[in-house]
Amino acid sequence: MALAKTEASGGSGLLPEVLAFSSSLALDRQLLREDLVGSLAHVTMLGRTGVIPKADAQAIREGLIALWKRADAGKLELPDEEDVHMAVEVELNNTIGAPAALLHSARSRNDQVATDLRLHVREVAANALRELTGFIQEIVTRARAEKELILPSYTHRQRAQPISLAYWLASYGAAFLRDAQALSFVLEQCKLLPLGVGAISGTSLPIDREISRTLLGFEGVTLNGMDTVGDRDFALDLLYATARFFVHASRLSTDLVDFTTQEFGFATLSGDISMGSSMMPQKKNPDVFELIRGKSGKAVGNLVGLLTTVKGLPGGYNRDLQEDRASLLETAPLLLGTLSVLRLSLPRVTFNAEKCRAGLEEGFTQATDLAEALVKKGMPFRKAYMAAGALVRRCQEKGITLRAATLELAQSIDPAYDASILSVLEPAGAVARKASAGSTGPAAVEATLTVIEAQARVLAERAAQVPKLSVLFTELERATL
Ligand code: ARG
């Protein structure tokens, strides 16, 4: 028995234009593996519970397994149907014949697609979490090796205070750690199985959702069918975690684009990650970091797009939800591709200690240290601020750095200045003296790195617990009825 193309849509012959307009196959064929695994679990449950005869369940299982293997070998050409779910059902029918008609018992494409999407989001979030925690560990290791290099920090893009390169690196380590936490939250949001709620209100057939739950590695089943079929929160959470990662990656990129300009001169890119110009032979452009910044627009757009699609929908399933596919399916290559290039690129950025140091001195970045040294001698901060500011201005007038200021010059501004106060003008000392938690002081940076490293390790373990689709398939293949 061959299923007619339009049978799933109620059998009323659709206009070809309408079928083309409503088809999601071009995108959701990417969910083939998820769909096959979900169907394998469903039919195994149907067979075990006696909803369909065991012999038919076995025939369907073998058919689905054959489809997976053909897909794996690149030999599965999906028929041109409305979506991947129908395409699989039709191809199953082409493969095993009549029993294929039993697969969709007690199931709707509404709970089917919700299941496929959760399996997909769970796998993407776990893969991204593994990559991101790996990147965080690399940042920590690099930071430990860069404690001696001192450079200016910036507020309002004006030189602010001396920091170590380790501190700069740790700042992005801390931000990416929060993104890893957001990805771990996505996994939390994916832990309930949608399958078994049917189109909206469940089924009167004697299914057992617990069986499907165990087979697909979920921690529980969703609480309400009507909510389940209209829920894309787990997808939104992935898009949010992705957008936020990109916001951080784009800020890191902007720092590096700036640092590698001739104007800053703090860092250089190795030849294998920087690109030339087709016209200007001298150029060495930071395209990689510009592209990461550019792609962040996509990530933010995907989040806003899906939020807008979901907003204002009535309860239950609505076909609008099919429009989640583009933003969601784009996310895995966008996120994983960027992470992998970032991991390759950061080690290929080298910092120039001399230039960084010159930036510190030219920027009078030790001015706060001068004020704090006066405070330590008992001067109120506001007064010390004025005295330090006056010395900075005097040096600027004379065209010298703070370190070139003589004691005589300083005392002509305020007699409280003495040699020990001026000794704080050595920039490395400005970093070494910082003692507060979360500061650029070496002990504080090490404490920060230890926390980041430990938390990243816990999150990496969380990612490792997520069953991979290929593993689920192998277990389902072995499962008995
Ligand atoms: N292709 C649809 C989607 O992705 C599957 C669900 C269709 N459900 C329906 N009642 N037409 O959302």
Amino acid at site 334? L
The set of protein residues with a Cβ atom below 6 angstroms from ligand 1 is 24, 83, 109-110, 113, 317, 319, 321-322
What's the pLDDT at 266? 98
Amino acid at site 162? P
Other C-beta atoms closer than 10 Å to the C-beta of 473 total: 19
Q: Which atom of ligand 1 is nearest to the CA of 84?
A: 1
Mean pLDDT on 447-457 = 98
Task: Supply the pTM of this predicted model.
Answer: 0.95
Catalytic residues: 156, 277
Handedness of CA 40, 41, 45, 51 (dihedral sign): negative
Instruction: Enter the tokens of residue 471.
Output: 């593993």
| Digit-coded pLDDT (tens) for 185-225 | 999 999 999 999 999 999 999 999 999 999 999 999 999 99
| Residue ID of nearest Cα to ligand 1 atom 5 | 109
| Residue ID of nearest Cα to ligand 1 atom 7 | 109
DSSP label of 468: P
- Among 35, 110, 309, name the best residue to mutate to test ligand 1's pocket (greatest count of ligand atoms within 8 A of Cβ): 110
> Helices 54-72 and 32-49, interaxial angle, to 10°?
160
- Among 109, 232, 313, name the best residue to mutate to test ligand 1's pocket (greatest count of ligand atoms within 8 A of Cβ): 109
| Digit-coded pLDDT (tens) for 338-363 | 999 999 999 999 999 999 999 998 88
> How high is the mean pLDDT of the chain?
95
| Residue ID of nearest Cα to ligand 1 atom 11 | 319
Q: Does the structure show a pLDDT above 80 at 6?
A: no
CA distance 259 to 254: 8
Other C-beta atoms closer than 10 Å to the C-beta of 8 total: 17
What is the 68 CA–ligand 1 centroid distance (Å)? 22
Mean pLDDT on 436-440 = 97
CA 385 from centre of chain: 42
- Residue 439 CB contacts under 8 Å (≥ 6 apart), including other chains: 167, 445
Q: Which atom of ligand 1 is nearest to the CA of 8?
A: 11
Other C-beta atoms closer than 10 Å to the C-beta of 375 total: 16
Handedness of CA 409, 414, 420, 424 (dihedral sign): negative
